[in-house]
Amino acid sequence: MTCDRCRQPMNVHRVSWFNVDRICEGCQSEEEAHPDFQNAREVEHAAVVAGDLNFPGVGWPGRDGRVMRGA
């Protein structure tokens, strides 16, 4: 299996908070350091509470991008 972001092989993965990418530990650390990480988690939580169990996320804005707040 390879990371959806960096395309490196991985044995362990998790799903991104920003979208449905399967990411490696390195990309996970990068994601957690992103300034919009908490916003992505809050938006997903609100979607799940509202009943959307297939929420696709707010979208990965990239390392230097930002998420639109209305997402």
pLDDT tens profile 13-25: 999 999 999 999 9
Whole-angstrom CA distances from 66 to 16, 23, 53, 61 are 15, 19, 24, 5
The yes-or-no verdict on residue 34 having pLDDT over 50 is yes
pLDDT value, residue 71: 46
Spatial distance between the Cα atoms of 51 and 7, rounded to a whole number of angstroms: 32
The yes-or-no verdict on residue 47 having pLDDT over 90 is yes
Rounded to two decimals, the pTM is 0.85
Q: At 69, is the pLDDT very low, low, confident or very high (cuts 50, 70, 90)?
A: low
Q: Which residues contact 56 (CB under 8 A, 6 or more apart)?
A: 19, 20
**Portion of the chain with pLDDT greater than 90, in percent:** 86
DSSP character at residue 23:
E
Spatial distance between the Cα atoms of 51 and 57, rounded to a whole number of angstroms: 14
